[in-house]
Amino acid sequence: MKHYDKNSLIGFLLMAIILIVFNTFFFNSESTNTSQKQPIQDKNINSKSQNEKITSNDNDFTKDKKSQNIDSSNLIVKTKIHNSFFSNSIEGEETFHSLENEKLKIVISNKGGRIVSAFLKEYQTYNQEKLDLFVQNASKFNLQFFANYKGKIKNYQTSNFYFDAVHNENGLSMQLKENDSTYIEFFYKLSKNNKYLIDFDINMLGMNEIIPNDKNFLSLDWQMKTPNLEKSKSMQEQGTWLYYQIQGDDDVEYVGHDETEVEEDDLINWVALKQQFFSAILISKNGFDVGTKLSSKTNNNLESEKANFIHDFSVNFRLIFNNTRQDRLSYQFYFGPNDYNELKNLKSFSKSYEEIIDLGYIGIDTWVNKKFIIPLFSFLNKNFESYGFGLIIFLLTIMIKLILSPLTYKSYLSQAKMKVLKPEIDKLNEKNKGKDPMKTQQATMNLYKKAGVNPLGGCLPMLFQFPILIAMFRFFPSSIELRQKSFLWADDLSAYDSILELGFNIPFYGDHVSLFTLMMTVSTLLYTRMNSSMSSSQMPQMKWIMYLMPIMFLGFFNNYAAGLTYYYFLANMFTMTQQFFMKKFVDEKAILAKIEENKKKPAKPKSSFQKKLEEIQRKQEQKMRARQKRKK
């Protein structure tokens, strides 16, 4: 159980102050009853080569793998020699080679010639360890092809062979040789366009002599189990998806969490194995061939403490071999953060990489995030980063509320008009009690019309604010800027905050207590109470629902990002403050006088829309009368 500290005490004091202030000043009178972390220093960085380096026999990587409980005896793998091509490459000792710059370090094994680790130097795991996007024993990158050996067609897999490593100033060449004129080369090079990009070429030299013409296709298997990198496994699971882009389309597709297999019948530009805050993306210069198979599956044991992996991705690509003496297939790897601006400005073979970041469900919330929230947040982050993200979110909330204040005022004014009319509406309801409800409703609408009051006037402004509310719901859990940034008692604003570990799990709530969620819930209840006096609703059960909803959301948001619940808390507080001052400036007597004046004016002609509504209402009344006659 976590001990209480100074920050937790501050949180409890804030809640107490809120309750005291609002009960004292807002509810006692009749009127109120209405920094990124420092880069990891690596021993292998060579400043003389401008922070880019090729390293052979990477000892640091070997130590890292031993720390992951990998048996060192597995580093030497021997397989029985058999009659085959590449027989000299069947046995060998596994060695590791690395390419690195100031942001990224990739480790390449001579066993299979593949990348076995991608370290992001500017980031760490939640446990303050080096951040490796994938683990060697839980990943696979394998090229399969058929070859005609002495009249027999055999299947070959590069993962079974040991490659020769050839270092040069341009990059690292991993070669699987039959002889000096017949071999497969995996060539890796640090891209000059982006520090998170790796240029990757598959060069086939003389392979046309051993690959049959009728089997001139290659199969590339890419598999990865995503490791547990963050504080919340459930949030990682929600943010982990397999995305891909079809050639000729700016949009992206995705594979569901439990899809057994999806086969794509179009050319594909790129495939992204996306984690909550980081991605591994394989990009093709000319597109992957028709028939790509993609699979995505969630780890069913996420709740277990031993669940080291969140998701299991698998992709099988079809690559066309042109059956020429020299054939080159050009690709790129992106190993980096899911930063919207970083991905949007990524200069590669394709585009639209930023679409893998989950910014909304319904379209308009995505637009709000891209065009409004992200630019505003980026501006604040650039100018106020040194002051901390608690202040940045505070300023973000103020700016949004100020921009929306005209809508807030219009909504409040409409509610005030409805409140003034409430006594007359009550008289109408009492007068027509026990009579046809449709006639009562029609009489109420006529009263609204004479008074010049729109009953939907308070709803429409709120409807315009709804996309922003939903946009923020998607923005905070996806914002890598908030990752591992602390504020008060929250050690990571991109994950849940916890002031108390319960030691047991409560259904629909969790095993901890989030103070920001409690503060959000209390402020929402206070806001509901403040608005209850402004409501003209005659359905008491609706008021109970309005009080019940914040309690229900308490369990939902308890496991959500602390930055989000902190924002909702601030938004509630600013809205209540706005309404408090609006009440001081809105004269209900003047509103009543204006309504009485409107009643004396001749009625405006009915619009075509009103006529249609009345016609529909008249037909409904006729149907009801006909049913009653049949029953008699």
Q: How far is Cα 407 from Cα 462, in angstroms, rounded to an integer?
A: 7
Instruction: Give Dmax (Cα) for the chain.
Output: 104
Q: Is the pLDDT of residue 381 over 50?
A: yes
- Close Cβ partners of 394 (under 8 Å, ≥ 6 residues apart): 570
Mean pLDDT value of segment 199-208: 93
Among the listed residues 106, 133, 127, the one whose alpha carbon sits nearest the alpha carbon of residue 44: 106
Looking at residue 211, its pLDDT comes to 86
Looking at residue 214, its pLDDT comes to 79
- Close Cβ partners of 283 (under 8 Å, ≥ 6 residues apart): 269, 270, 331, 332, 333, 334, 348, 349, 350
From the number of C-beta atoms within 10 Å of its C-beta (0-12, 13-18, 19+), residue 133 rates as buried
Helices (H), 335-388: 340-344, 364-368, 374-384
Looking at residue 421, its pLDDT comes to 74
Q: What is the pLDDT of residues 455-493, one digit of tens each?
A: 666 666 667 778 888 899 999 999 999 999 999 999 999
Euclidean distance between the first and the last CA atom of the chain, given in angstroms as a whole number: 69
Mean pLDDT value of segment 532-543: 57
Please give the residue that has the higher pLDDT: either 188 or 603.
188
Q: What is the pLDDT of residues 239-262, one digit of tens each?
A: 999 999 999 888 899 998 887 789
Looking at residue 31, its pLDDT comes to 39
Looking at residue 43, its pLDDT comes to 35
Q: What is the pLDDT of residues 581-594, one digit of tens each?
A: 888 777 767 777 77
Task: Flag whether the pTM goes above 0.85.
Answer: no
Looking at residue 50, its pLDDT comes to 43
Of 191-200, 336-345, 462-471, give the lowest mean pLDDT range.
462-471
Alpha carbons within 13 angstroms on the beta-carbon side of residue 60 total 17
Q: How far is Cα 479 from Cα 488, in angstroms, rounded to an integer?
A: 19
- Close Cβ partners of 571 (under 8 Å, ≥ 6 residues apart): 397, 400, 401
Of 62-76, 307-321, 420-434, 533-547, give the lowest mean pLDDT range.
62-76
Q: How far is Cα 58 from Cα 53, in angstroms, rounded to an integer?
A: 12
pLDDT band for position 435 (cuts 50, 70, 90): low
Q: Is the pLDDT of residue 20 over 90?
A: no
Looking at residue 369, its pLDDT comes to 93
pLDDT band for position 71 (cuts 50, 70, 90): very low
Q: Are 475 and 432 in contact (CB under 8 A)?
A: no
Structure tokens that stand for 4 in this block = 């209480």
Q: Which backbone phi and psi does 139 adopt, to 5 degrees?
A: -145, 165
pLDDT band for position 335 (cuts 50, 70, 90): very high
